[in-house]
Chain A
């Protein structure tokens, strides 16, 4: 009985210590932010308009393909990554999958005013211009048509890695994605991205370990919430695409997660059996002395 009382005291103080330095301290170190909003309520998006994909195709051909490739429908990149990064500051995205990975309202709002939708207007206050011009002169219906077209050509299914490549890799390297081959380096060369963003965006190899999954969702959905003033744009990923990005970060940064979770059961099971036998043996031995 006395042993249990002592154990209760030890457990209580250990628990208090743990609570103090982990959950409690973390609420003080990392202030709570509102949950991610995957509907992008704040943007000036489609406002209920339905687009016509066929008309959208024409608008895209005359407005977008001068800079953007759309490999899915036969518009290859006009320049290689190094040259286009030097020309635009950052490699422009291929639009083949935009209709799938980005929220439709966000996409419409981005076409209208990229800096505003991406919440990076603070970067372009001193006369610098966003690499993509605003299409706020365009009729809302035409923008809706463009969005409808992009949705019509987008694939129905994408792998986690494909979503990551299209959503993140223009700026971010993820070295552990191809440690020896180097194919997962950022598409935009360091010098260009540094002058565009102010810093070289961090390598994402270990983000899943250095940030919690919850933090990553909050941050990707709206970087300004956790890092006010950051140069990272809000990219407008749908909830599904964002999950796929985080899953890719897990596959790369915590590749042994499944093995860890599978090994835990047998390991702890063995120890429980060991503890039971140890306890029984102890009782047997101590019966002789008590």
Chain B
């Protein structure tokens, strides 16, 4: 280490020690992003902001929340919602952001799938992103239990009970997760710990990893063009800003992000003030009651599609019990999108509209997930059960067909 002679208490001395200018350059003014992007590229910053809203509102809620089955419901619905100044605002912000962040995650995810941003060098971005999705799911699920309403209790009972399916039962897994034979105080306190400590810690770490993984391969662009970043950055720095195919993260990329963020925040706060029931289910304003099963138990909307794959196979097949098949498909659905980079056999990175068969695959996937989501909420009776069955079958077929669909596109293009 070079000895630094400048005083610690001078701007120059601080710069020598921390190299703030170099850091700023590396992270901001000379972190290059393709110019050919649209507003979907702002979803990362929208997500980061929504996560920040969740952390800040969560900290305020944490000051008054009581993780105890006898106190939790009132601490949320009386103390926070009615006594604490603007407690209701923080709770609405927290509940609505928790729901909206999944909408943005899905948009972010399907943007990646549409533009082929998961492959050929960008696998790590995809994998870290999917790990974030899984961790956020756990964060959402554990948080939903905390108000200790009817849905908190029964969703927890139903979902933890999944770990009693098949041969898992013999291992006593469900009791180990719950800390008892039924969902109880121990379950609440451990999910509280997960929600406010362990999972946020993991999420923050994964966000750092996610940012790191995209630094080297760079962000994809609208036409999936392969850009020579060094050459284009040189052009930009030489003043040929209009010709250069890249822009710096600050201020050019972020200026667009802020504009998108502005519009997003109007939408988000509209929901916070006027339309919050979709995120804060009314049923959860009934206190948890282990003796009274609600008429309909369903998870939050962002879990519905995978929940429906669990219910999809409602009759025994291939010598297996319906419940076991459902559990296997459900298990697969959780990790299904992780494997996308490895089952895409097309050697080129191209947006879906330049891959005709994959384009159709993509939109069938979107529609199928929508069908699964809507029917995941409806009672699985009569025709609903069959819709769920076929939508689950389509979901599996889509994954099974992806290697062939993508290969066929590549062949037709002459790339294979």
**Residues of chain A at the chain B interface (Cβ within 8 Å):** 2-3, 6-7, 10, 13-14, 16-18, 20-22, 24-25, 28-29, 175-176, 179, 202-203, 205-206, 209-212, 255-256, 259-261, 263-264, 267-268, 271-272, 274-279, 281-282, 285-286, 288-290
A260–B81 Cα distance when bound, in Å, is 11
**A20-B374, A255-B82, A288-B241 in contact; A274/B273 too (CB < 8 A)?**
no
Contact in complex: A263, B285 (CB < 8 Å) = no
Contact in complex: A278, B88 (CB < 8 Å) = no
**A211-B282, A274-B262, A281-B255 in contact; A3/B38 too (CB < 8 A)?**
yes
B27 within 8 A of partner (CB): no
B357 within 8 A of partner (CB): no
A275–B266 Cα distance when bound, in Å, is 8
Contact in complex: B374, A24 (CB < 8 Å) = yes
B91 vs chain A, min Cβ distance (A): 10
A202–B35 Cα distance when bound, in Å, is 59
Q: How large is the interface on B (under 10, 10 to 19, 20 to 34, 35 or more residues)?
A: 35 or more
Given contacts A3-B39, A260-B89, A264-B269, 7 further A-B contacts (CB under 8 A): A21-B278, A29-B379, A205-B78, A256-B88, A264-B273, A286-B256, A288-B241
B130 within 8 A of partner (CB): no
Question: Could you mark each residue 185-206 of chain B with 1 if its beta carbon is under 8 Å from any beta carbon of chain A, else 0?
Answer: 0000000000000000000000
Contact in complex: A275, B263 (CB < 8 Å) = yes
Contact in complex: B366, A13 (CB < 8 Å) = yes
A116–B404 Cα distance when bound, in Å, is 69
Contact in complex: A272, B273 (CB < 8 Å) = no
Give every chain B residue within 8 A of A202 (Cβ-Cβ): 286
A210–B278 Cα distance when bound, in Å, is 12
Give every chain B residue within 8 A of A22 (Cβ-Cβ): 277-278
A10–B299 Cα distance when bound, in Å, is 23
Question: Could you mark each residue 235-264 of chain B with 1 if its beta carbon is under 8 Å from any beta carbon of chain A, else 0?
Answer: 000000110100100011001101101110
B335 within 8 A of partner (CB): no
Contact in complex: B379, A17 (CB < 8 Å) = no
Contact in complex: B378, A29 (CB < 8 Å) = yes
Contact in complex: A275, B262 (CB < 8 Å) = yes
A1 vs chain B, min Cβ distance (A): 11
Contact in complex: A210, B370 (CB < 8 Å) = no
Give every chain A residue within 8 A of B241 (Cβ-Cβ): 288-289
Contact in complex: B82, A176 (CB < 8 Å) = yes
B304 within 8 A of partner (CB): yes
**Residues of chain B at the chain A interface (Cβ within 8 Å):** 35, 38-40, 74, 77-78, 81-82, 88-89, 92, 103, 107, 241-242, 244, 247, 251-252, 255-256, 258-259, 261-263, 265-266, 269-270, 273-274, 277-278, 282-287, 295-296, 301, 304, 366, 370, 373-374, 377-379
Give the total number of A-B pairs whose CB atoms are below 8 A apart: 130
Contact in complex: A6, B374 (CB < 8 Å) = no
B154 vs chain A, min Cβ distance (A): 14
A290–B240 Cα distance when bound, in Å, is 10
A-B contact pairs, 15 of them (CB 8 A): A2-B38, A6-B39, A17-B301, A28-B379, A203-B287, A206-B286, A212-B282, A256-B81, A256-B88, A268-B273, A272-B266, A274-B265, A278-B262, A281-B258, A285-B252
Give every chain B residue within 8 A of A16 (Cβ-Cβ): 370
Give every chain A residue within 8 A of B261 (Cβ-Cβ): 278
Give every chain B residue within 8 A of A176 (Cβ-Cβ): 77-78, 82
Task: Give the residue name and chain of the B residue nearest to A28 (CB).
Answer: B378
A204–B256 Cα distance when bound, in Å, is 48
Task: Give the residue name and chain of the A residue nearest to B248 (CB).
Answer: A289
A22–B295 Cα distance when bound, in Å, is 16
A3–B42 Cα distance when bound, in Å, is 12
Task: Give the residue name and chain of the B residue nearest to A279 (CB).
Answer: B259
Give every chain A residue within 8 A of B370 (Cβ-Cβ): 13, 16-17, 20
Give every chain A residue within 8 A of B286 (Cβ-Cβ): 202, 206, 210
Task: Give the residue name and chain of the B residue nearest to A284 (CB).
Answer: B255
- Which of B258, B287, B377 touches A278 (beta carbons < 8 Å)? B258
**A176-B78, A203-B287 in contact; A17/B259 too (CB < 8 A)?**
no
A18–B366 Cα distance when bound, in Å, is 14
Contact in complex: B242, A264 (CB < 8 Å) = no
Contact in complex: A25, B374 (CB < 8 Å) = yes
Give every chain B residue within 8 A of A209 (Cβ-Cβ): 77, 282, 285
Contact in complex: A289, B283 (CB < 8 Å) = no
Identify the interface centre among A20, A212, A259, A274: most chain B CB within 10 Å of its CB. A20
Question: Nearest 4 CB-CB pairs, A to B?
Answer: A275-B262, A20-B374, A210-B285, A264-B273
Contact in complex: B256, A282 (CB < 8 Å) = yes
Give every chain A residue within 8 A of B107 (Cβ-Cβ): 10
Give every chain B residue within 8 A of A175 (Cβ-Cβ): 74
B273 vs chain A, min Cβ distance (A): 4
B97 vs chain A, min Cβ distance (A): 15
Give every chain B residue within 8 A of A286 (Cβ-Cβ): 252, 255-256
A32 vs chain B, min Cβ distance (A): 16
A2–B40 Cα distance when bound, in Å, is 12
Task: Give the residue name and chain of the A residue nearest to B286 (CB).
Answer: A210
- Which of A206, A256, A268, A279 touches B270 (beta carbons < 8 Å)? A268
Contact in complex: B255, A268 (CB < 8 Å) = no
A2–B78 Cα distance when bound, in Å, is 48
A210–B251 Cα distance when bound, in Å, is 46
Give every chain B residue within 8 A of A28 (Cβ-Cβ): 378-379
Give every chain A residue within 8 A of B256 (Cβ-Cβ): 282, 286
Task: Give the residue name and chain of the A residue nearest to B247 (CB).
Answer: A289
Contact in complex: A290, B242 (CB < 8 Å) = yes
A274–B374 Cα distance when bound, in Å, is 35
Contact in complex: B259, A278 (CB < 8 Å) = yes
A50–B197 Cα distance when bound, in Å, is 70
Identify the interface centre among A10, A179, A209: most chain B CB within 10 Å of its CB. A209
B389 vs chain A, min Cβ distance (A): 18
B223 vs chain A, min Cβ distance (A): 11
A272–B259 Cα distance when bound, in Å, is 11
A6–B78 Cα distance when bound, in Å, is 43
A205–B261 Cα distance when bound, in Å, is 37
- Which of B77, B252, B262, B265 touches A279 (beta carbons < 8 Å)? B262
A281–B262 Cα distance when bound, in Å, is 12
